[in-house]
Copies of this chain bind each other. A is one copy, B any other.
Amino acid sequence: MATIYDVSKKTGLSASTVVRALNGTGYCSQSSRDAILEAAHELGYVPHQAAKALKSHITQKVMLCIPDIMNPYYFAMIQGATQVLDRYGYNIILGYTMHSPKKELEVLESLKGRYVDGLIFGSFDYSPQLIQAIRDTDLPTVITSFYESAEEQDFYDCVHVNQPRAAWIATEYCLRNGHTRIAFLGGDAGEQNTRERFEGYRKALEERDIALEESLAIHADFTREGACHAFRSFLEQGGECTAVVACNDLMGVGCMNVCRDMGIRVPDDISIVSLDNTDYCLCTDPPMTSVDMMQRQVGEEAANFVMNRILEKRRFQKNMAFSPVLVVRDSVKKRN
């Protein structure tokens, strides 16, 4: 591997001149610059990243931390973030926390090794402990959820989609179509994510003076299999509803699977709305009505925000909220 010293030797110029020419920083005559650029090219010189990072504290890497790689929710986000970071010459390091708080803390701890310049962090559940761990990394960070801190914070930004509103939109759409017995299919009730979405569901019902029924809240685990199991149990135990709000597409698909297996027609017997609007919605029959959670945009803006903090050394906080958008397809029936 060629170093600046090889270029230096080849051109007869000093190493520091080589650096100045290559980085376009400081004085360098045109002729020297030309000679250096040519020599560097011939030698296939590429700066050694570790050396550069050690000296300049710039790694050109951002960690993108997500709870679940197999969840399609994150694909568009990864894609959006990747494309923006790529424009800045930045690479993504994947942090995979496997939906585990313990693993999340481990990953954050490892970040103290300073191998990234910034962090985009997605979690299902922002505990105070987690926020503290994020703060301890002392890294420009964007979290893809909204976490209001008690204190004035200036170490992280929030780029997120209004979760309660997404569930509200889905529920309200069912209500508007004449449904009143609407089941809520969510994840673990203890997690922020599910709590927020449930809140939107609750609010929509309340606004229309429809009593919340404990038994209509079904808790699964954000997977298709889990939803199948939970929704089947619900029905087998005599649960009745004319519509389901599923907290993600995977669970919406699970519902559809159960309906098909049990001979229940969608949307004639049961209507289904899910949240996420991934490509899964286009595979089902009927195509599934879903609330777009703007994942690509979240990924893009999160990347823009970290890069802004990194490059401009911005210290004050910026938050951005996207409003989710209902995408109507054919899985909801109008009742009279």
Q: Does A260 contact B (CB under 8 A)?
A: yes
- CB–CB A49/B93 < 8 A: no
- CB–CB B1/A114 < 8 A: yes
A113 to B49, CA, bound (A): 5
A115-B50 contact, Cβ under 8 Å, with A78-B94, A282-B253, A284-B283: yes
Q: Which listed segment binds B: A30-38, A40-48, A148-156, A206-214?
A: A40-48
Instruction: List, in ascending order, chain B residues with CB within 8 A of A47's CB.
Output: 113
In chain A between 73 and 103, which residues have their CB closer than 8 angstroms to a CB of chain B?
A: 75-76, 78-79, 82-83, 86, 91-96
Q: Which listed segment binds B: A53-61, A118-126, A236-244, A319-327?
A: A53-61
Interface size on A, as a range, is: 35 or more
A44 to B224, CA, bound (A): 41
A82 to B94, CA, bound (A): 8
Q: Does A311 contact B (CB under 8 A)?
A: no
Pick from B50, B72, B92, B257: contact of A93, CB under 8 Å:
B92
A44-B94 contact, Cβ under 8 Å, with A75-B70, A78-B69, A253-B283: no
In chain A between 105 and 122, which residues have their CB closer than 8 angstroms to a CB of chain B?
A: 109-110, 112-115
A69-B82 contact, Cβ under 8 Å, with A50-B59, A59-B50: yes
A280 to B112, CA, bound (A): 39
In chain A between 225 and 253, which residues have their CB closer than 8 angstroms to a CB of chain B?
A: 250, 253
